Amino acid sequence: MKPLIRSLLSVTLFATVAAASGNAYAQGFFLDDLGGETAASIDSNPGTAVVATPEDSITVVPAAEPEPQQSTASGQFVATNNYSIRSSKGDRLCTVPKGTPLAPEQINSERDYVQVKVNHPGCPSDGWISVNGLQPVGGSGASMKVEVEGSLALRESPGSGGKFECGLPPDTSVAIVEQKAATDRHRAWVKVNLENPPANCPREGWVHSEYLRANDNLLASLPVDAAAFTDIVADDGGTEAGFGDTCTDCANRNIQALKDVVNGVTSLSNLDSWRKARGMVQIPTRGSNGNIGPCGSFHYNPQSPAPVKGRLVDNYANPTTACVMNAMLQEWKSRYPSTSSGARVQWGDISHPTASKFNGHKSHTEGHCIDFRPMRNDGFKDEALTYQSGAYSRSRTQEFIDLAKSMGANTVLFNDSKIDGAGWSGGHDNHMHICFPDSRKTRGVCENYKYDPNICGGN
């Protein structure tokens, strides 16, 4: 349960930032700056988010003496973006715009959908929404703690231009007392109250919300409706977001799951340094050319399309997909450890940080699909390979596809008719096109995946 809420909050907070940044990648949005570049990008680029909140800011007055569990259900939430409201069977009933106030009533047994009271034209008075669609905006439940490596800047006023007051160390407890309206350029900033301010820190100030995590499980006290959402898989191309191409809230709780998996590992695996855009994370690579991928994998043709400001633009994946990809790479490397083997995983285009279509691809829009080269029967070589080639290994390729399917791949395109479980499609003689939806199965793989440094060796 705890990871779920951590995930929820990290995602909703991240979604706020992502939404605020609009074309995040192009603006240099990444989470390695504490109140600096990240905030600057947002502040100067309010994006196109439309929210019906007229106030300049939302002031939250803490309840006098809140009862911890009661505060949960009464805590204030808004929709993180344009989100679907559904029936308990998953049918779409309406869409609420970003910023719509929502009051939680029940949660399903999987704890990934919440029944909420809705007051929006065209919507019923209550319905179900993905937990990814809920953003806490304060109230007595908004007890948070600082989660950073290093320290988080506390500023006198919102925005990176605000006067620096002090640095808050990790785990500092704060309470949100004010949040800017979703239309405000400083909407990613929140005013916090410090119960026990560190030395030289004032009791109140503004911090960037991305670096706060909930202390408490804000949904803990909700009654469970065991019958609701018993077999629902997100649609809309794998996300609950109301719009695909510019989806900013695709960043779901698996960002946190992914972080839990890969943090603590050297080099490639510090998720805070992973770039994020359009709700996707960039699969990390090493080297100036970008060929060296996670866990012994090889990223081919990284310079196509041409990098932007020196950064690759072909390797952004939905967080769940990224997580499953890492799990698959690890499992494969446990079977074929040598990076000089023809069985080394070679992957190519995934998705672009700012463009839903790139390199002529039609189905690499939201980070769910990855191109892989077929397996070789000789040694590793950076060369395209078709299934007609003498160096092609059908048995290894079949094994790879079987592994992908066991980890939740729902679409596999590859034109070797002797391969089981792959569909034919023009142009797929020289690569496997494998898609991992954000489904119960892939999420399960992600949640059960544990990074093994003995296999991936720090990669």
The binder of another protein chosen from 360, 390, 395, 417 (CB under 8 A): 360
The three-state secondary structure class of 368 is coil
| Of residues 311, 417, 409, 301, the one with CA closest to residue 360 | 301
Interaction of residue 145 with another protein, rule CB under 8 A: no
Q: CA 132, CA 453: separation in Å to the nearest integer?
A: 31
Number of residues that bind another protein (CB under 8 A): 38
Alpha carbons within 13 A on the beta-carbon side of 314: 23
Interaction of residue 112 with another protein, rule CB under 8 A: no
| Of residues 351, 348, 332, the one with CA closest to residue 427 | 348
Mutual angle of helices 254-262 and 2-21, in 10-degree steps: 110
| Of residues 121, 127, 116, the one with CA closest to residue 93 | 127
Instruction: Give residues with Cβ within 8 angstroms of 422, minimum separation 6.
Output: 401, 412, 413, 414, 415, 416, 432
Interaction of residue 454 with another protein, rule CB under 8 A: no
- Give the x-and-dash track for 332-351 against another protein (CB under 8 A): -------x--------xx--
Phi, psi of 70 (to 5 degrees): -65, -35
Binding part of the chain for another protein, among 49-57, 116-124, 146-154, 383-391 by CB under 8 A, reads 383-391
Residue 16: exposed, middle, or buried by beta-carbon count in 10 A (0-12, 13-18, 19+)?
Answer: buried
Q: CA 406, CA 324: separation in Å to the nearest integer?
A: 11
Residue 164 or 424: which CB sits closer to another protein? 424
The binder of another protein chosen from 428, 438, 446, 456 (CB under 8 A): 428
Residue 98 or 361: which CB sits closer to another protein? 361
Mutual angle of helices 440-448 and 319-335, in 10-degree steps: 60
Residue 56 or 378: which CB sits closer to another protein? 378
Contact 132, 79 (CB under 8 A): no
Interaction of residue 381 with another protein, rule CB under 8 A: yes
Residue 347: exposed, middle, or buried by beta-carbon count in 10 A (0-12, 13-18, 19+)?
Answer: buried
Unique residue bearing structure tokens 């446990």: 334
Joined together, the tokens standing for residue 424 give 């034919």
Interaction of residue 311 with another protein, rule CB under 8 A: no
Nearest approach in angstroms of CB 455 to another protein is 16
Interaction of residue 431 with another protein, rule CB under 8 A: yes
Q: CA 445, CA 436: separation in Å to the nearest integer?
A: 11
Interaction of residue 288 with another protein, rule CB under 8 A: yes
Residue 194 or 268: which CB sits closer to another protein? 268
Binding part of the chain for another protein, among 143-151, 185-193, 238-246, 280-288 by CB under 8 A, reads 280-288
Q: CA 300, CA 303: separation in Å to the nearest integer?
A: 9
Binding part of the chain for another protein, among 35-43, 219-227, 231-239, 423-431 by CB under 8 A, reads 423-431
Interaction of residue 273 with another protein, rule CB under 8 A: no
Interaction of residue 430 with another protein, rule CB under 8 A: yes
| Of residues 82, 80, 86, the one with CA closest to residue 116 | 86
| Of residues 4, 12, 390, 449, the one with CA closest to residue 269 | 449
Residue 32 or 383: which CB sits closer to another protein? 383
Count CB-CB contacts under 10 A for residue 422.
Answer: 24
Please, which of residues 163-222 interact with another protein by CB under 8 A?
none
The binder of another protein chosen from 40, 384, 403, 455 (CB under 8 A): 384
The binder of another protein chosen from 6, 352, 433, 443 (CB under 8 A): 433
Residue 88 or 304: which CB sits closer to another protein? 304
Binding part of the chain for another protein, among 114-122, 224-232, 271-279, 357-365 by CB under 8 A, reads 357-365
Contact 374, 397 (CB under 8 A): yes
Binding part of the chain for another protein, among 40-48, 198-206, 315-323, 379-387 by CB under 8 A, reads 379-387
| Of residues 334, 340, 346, the one with CA closest to residue 297 | 346
- Give the x-and-dash track for 290-309 against another protein (CB under 8 A): xxx-----x-xx-xx-x---
Contact 372, 347 (CB under 8 A): yes
Binding part of the chain for another protein, among 40-48, 140-148, 151-159, 356-364 by CB under 8 A, reads 356-364
Interaction of residue 386 with another protein, rule CB under 8 A: yes
Binding part of the chain for another protein, among 40-48, 223-231, 247-255, 363-371 by CB under 8 A, reads 363-371
Residue 180 or 361: which CB sits closer to another protein? 361
Binding part of the chain for another protein, among 131-139, 285-293, 322-330, 440-448 by CB under 8 A, reads 285-293
Cα torsion angle, 439, 401, 275, 22, sign? negative
The binder of another protein chosen from 289, 334, 338, 406 (CB under 8 A): 289
Residue 305 preceded by cis peptide, ω within 30:
yes
Q: Which residues bind another protein (CB under 8 A)?
A: 286-292, 298, 300-301, 303-304, 306, 339, 348-349, 358-364, 371, 373, 381-384, 386, 413, 425-428, 430-431, 433
